[in-house]
Amino acid sequence: KKATLYVDRNIEVGEVDKRIYGSFIEHLGRAVYEGIYQPGNKFADNEGLRQDTIKLIKEIGVPIVRYPGGNFVSDFHWEDSVGPVEKRPHRIEPAWGVIETNEFGLHEFMNWSKKAGTETMYAINLGTRGIEDAKNVVEYCNIKKNTLYSDMRRKNGAEDPFDIKLWCLGNEMDGPWQMGHKTATEYGRIANEAGKIMKWIDPSIEVVACGSSNMGMPTFGKWEATVLEEGYDTFDYLSLHTYYGNHENNTPDFLASSVDMDKFISAVVSVCDYVKAVKKSNKQINLSFDEWNVWYHSNEQDKKLEKWIEHPHQLEDIYNFEDALLVGSMLITLLRHADRVKIACLAQLVNVIAPIMTSDTGAWKQTIFYPYMHASQFGRGTVLTSVVKTPTYESKHGDAPYIDSVVVKDEENGTVTIFAVNKDLENDFELTADLRQFADYKVKEHIMLTHDDLKAVNTEENPDNVAPVAYNGTKLDNGVLTSILPSRSWNVIRLE
């Protein structure tokens, strides 16, 4: 089969905000405990922070991490997580049915972020708490000194403010499963009031309001419009969350889930611009896709979990090769909306629905690690307008292209990268791209992830079962690129 890519060097979709390669660490399962923090483990440093995990996070180049939840945050008391560890309370954690010891808290996380080279996107509790606590935690984190909470921070060992620039106003407040779930009007009001005072305390911060937990929510659309009507002038971003699963073991449908994600983004952009028009505002609300991934493998197992224990194995999806293909397509989808999606978090980062897994004896890369790492490493710069002419197939999400692709130009490093997924389970595709505008470029490398077995996984014993390889057959002659995109493959074609 054949596909043709058309790209224009001068027509840009938008700059890639590096924060679209963000991720997420929630106090959930073994994300924090045993994932990033495990005192006494042979890979932990003198502060208990696992260096093997940090090394893999640095390989990806994760620019920002959302913390501390998730559903967890909606009953979280941030004060529990600061001060002398021996005085911190052990609490019932109703969202996930476990015990939280608070041994690892705000200061430990900020210290970890520094070591991992990431920035922080901090979520506040707008479920069981409200404006007062939102105000206090911003003061604690971002005010220099001589006030109650800033001095408390200094007393707890951090002389300099944490200076957190990005704040989530709660989590999934549209979901009945959320502690302190609200109607759109109730949430819009409290989020606006909280965000307003938070910005009075530190005008340099940006805030993300909760959008819908997924596009299938009964309140989808109206939720976004109502929330934005309440707080348009306060909010900077509106969030989107979505997870996909291959529950019916129908791989073509599963791989077409990126079509659904694309529709979701376009729909939320429309609602944002509708409210902009109604408000006659010049301000544009951008999107924060702050939870996205595949999540379904661990669902059944998690139903059997014993309650009220500390950091059990929870949401430990073992990702297979087809999951990596979809994650690649979802990254392409985010990039194709670079004009409006400014933040995105692969949910999550370690052990819990994560690209990185750990045990007491090591850390390894799940299949989805690779597309995430490639996009973060090579997908920075500017997304160019491109169109791929490709056959399509019928899926439960509508017409789905066999070839998904996007082109990113990195002016600073003088490179152009084509990311492409071939979703055809039987046929290789011959890809031709008219690159006459890039005639002075050469093919630097073509990295490929493919496997005969769609269900192949990486494990601690066999960590390289699904791993990228180099492909040498891609040519760029007289401005025409020719390549083969094998059936079921993720491809990164780099030109310089």
Q: How far is the CB of 353 from ligand AHR (least distance, A)?
A: 6
| CB of 319 closer than 8 Å to CB of 294 | yes
Alpha-carbon span 367 to 272, nearest angstrom: 35
- Determine the 3-state secondary structure of 339 from DSSP: coil
Instruction: Find tokens 């699963």 and name the residue.
Output: 245
φ, ψ at 272 (rounded to 5°): -60, -45
| CB of 32 closer than 8 Å to CB of 94 | no
Q: Where are the beta strands (DSSP E) in 101-223?
A: 119-124, 166-169, 206-209
Q: How far is the CB of 15 from ligand AHR (least distance, A)?
A: 28
Q: Which residue has its beta carbon closest to ligand AHR?
A: 70
Q: Is 159 a catalytic residue?
A: no
Alpha-carbon span 493 to 38, nearest angstrom: 39
Cis amide prior to 312 (ω within 30 degrees): no
**Active site residue: 26, 34, 193, 291, which one?**
291
70 vs 381 by CB, closer to ligand AHR: 70
Q: How far is the CB of 367 from ligand AHR (least distance, A)?
A: 19
70 vs 127 by CB, closer to ligand AHR: 70
Binding site for ligand AHR (CB under 6 A): 26, 69-71, 171-172, 291, 347-348
Helix crossing, 222-231 with 184-201: angle to 10°?
Answer: 40
**Active site residue: 172, 193, 230, 322, which one?**
172
Q: How far is the CB of 13 from ligand AHR (least distance, A)?
A: 28
Q: Is 394 a catalytic residue?
A: no
Neighbours of 426 (CB within 10 A): 7
70 vs 371 by CB, closer to ligand AHR: 70
63 vs 70 by CB, closer to ligand AHR: 70
Nearest 5°: the CA angle 149, 25, 267 is 100
171 vs 366 by CB, closer to ligand AHR: 171
Q: Where are the beta strands (DSSP E) in 376-428?
A: 382-389, 392-395, 398-401, 403-410, 415-422
172 vs 404 by CB, closer to ligand AHR: 172
Q: Residue 141: left if φ>0, alpha if ψ -120 to 50, beta else—which one?
A: alpha
Q: How far is the CB of 178 from ligand AHR (least distance, A)?
A: 8
Residues designated catalytic: 172, 291
